[in-house]
Amino acid sequence: MRVGYGRHSLPQQAVQQCHRMLGAAVPRLLIAFVGGKHDPVRMLRALRDVFGSDVPVVGGAAAGVISRDVESYSGLELGLIGFYDPATTPRVFVTEGLRAGEVEAGRELGQRIAAVAADDAVVLILYDSVRHAAPLQLHPASAIVEGLQQGLHGRRLHLVGGGMLTDMNLSDSWVFDGRGFAKHTAVALVFPRSLVAHTEILHGCRPISSFMEITRVDGAEVFELDGEPALSVIERMLGIPLGSSQMQQLSLIATLGQKQGDPFAPFSEDRYVNRLILRTDVATGSVTLFEPDFRRGTRVQIMSRDNELMLASVRDGVARLNARLAGTEPLLGLYIDCAGRASGRSGAVIEEARLVRELLDPSVTLLGFYSGVEIAPFDGVGRSLDWTGVLTVLARSP
């Protein structure tokens, strides 16, 4: 496995920059993370001009790309992963059914994966995040993963992945599916049993409220917490006047978090599944979350996004991963990083992706991208996550 990074306004130049890093050998498969200012058709044409039309290209739009030397979200980036060895090249499965129903599409994908994957196989899933741009509506990762788990019929996977985005404003998204560029599509890469994955989930939120019950919800729109308008409760806890301009930036400040396991256990950020706030509605007093998987009766806490805790989580998580990699043969590090964690969105004084690339064992080849929603193993089951960094390293099985 080899990686390349380029940045240029012309797709041909960005591809050539990557090609020089990858070398002359022709890959069996390419994963491409493409800055959202690039046109997908022109980029795919440039990739085929350089690597050949027979090389399948999967991946899609990325809000930014992370390499060993730089993290950038100008929209002009290109990150490539090339696979050359049949023993480590993944099989590609595609579903184009997200528009018809995310659960059904995920179930179809899960059934196809279960037919070929061994237990604990490593699977990378990349999907089209934006269902409609105006008004903004997302393809929920939680529904895709729910369907996928149904289709697996108990088969265990090491599932990681992320939602593709053209930029940090959620303007649009698209994927490469091995044949061309597509919408309303998810791509799963099933790695051979010769590979294992070591994954750390990097967090950065802390609770600022007691437990509250969701008492009225419709899909991803939460209307009430403990019988009160959800927006009123959140703005009271945060001390933000209702209707102020700050409310438009609520997604940069707070999430709703569901604590897993014992609710009375000491605080550990690793026990929370957090949901970002996509938008607010002053008229209805509701907040709409990125994912529709919180139900009536779900007990949640208001979580504050804490930049210092985020950076500490990166330092601790990368240190744990480095320790686990001792004595292994790592082949590729992949960092799937929530776009909201970038300094341009979070306001952090340090790019947390910079910490990842600086602290990760320098012998590990690294490439990453800024995503919408992240997917990672949580309590042994694949789960969609918000405002996390998912750092996974593929290594040869011992």
Coil, strand or helix: which one is 239? coil
Q: What is the pTM of this model?
A: 0.95
pLDDT average, residue stretch 76-101? 97
CA distance 175 to 182: 5
Indicate the domain borders of the chain: 2-202+311-396, 205-305
Asked if 324 contacts 318 with a C-beta cutoff of 8 angstroms, the reply is no
Among 314, 321, 291, smallest CA distance to 146 is for 291
Query: β-strands 65-67, 71-72: how paired?
Result: antiparallel
Q: Per-residue pLDDT tens for 217-269? A: 999 999 999 999 999 999 888 887 655 545 456 767 889 999 999 999 999 99
Query: Residue 241's pLDDT is what?
Result: 66
Query: Residue 238's pLDDT is what?
Result: 84
Query: Residue 247's pLDDT is what?
Result: 47
Asked if 172 contacts 57 with a C-beta cutoff of 8 angstroms, the reply is no
Query: Residue 245's pLDDT is what?
Result: 47
Burial class (CB in 10 A: 0-12, 13-18, 19+), 324: middle
CA distance 28 to 90: 10
Q: Per-residue pLDDT tens for 320-356? A: 999 999 999 999 999 999 999 999 888 899 999 999 9
**DSSP-assigned letter for residue 266:** P
Query: Residue 242's pLDDT is what?
Result: 56
pLDDT average, residue stretch 200-220? 96
The pair of three-digit structure tokens given for residue 194, joined into one six-digit string? 């010769």
The pair of three-digit structure tokens given for residue 121, joined into one six-digit string? 């196989």
Place of tokens 């306001």: 347
Residues in the chain: 398
Identify the residue with better confidence: 380 or 40: 40
For 279, the enclosing helix (H) or strand (E) is strand 272-281
pLDDT average, residue stretch 168-192? 97
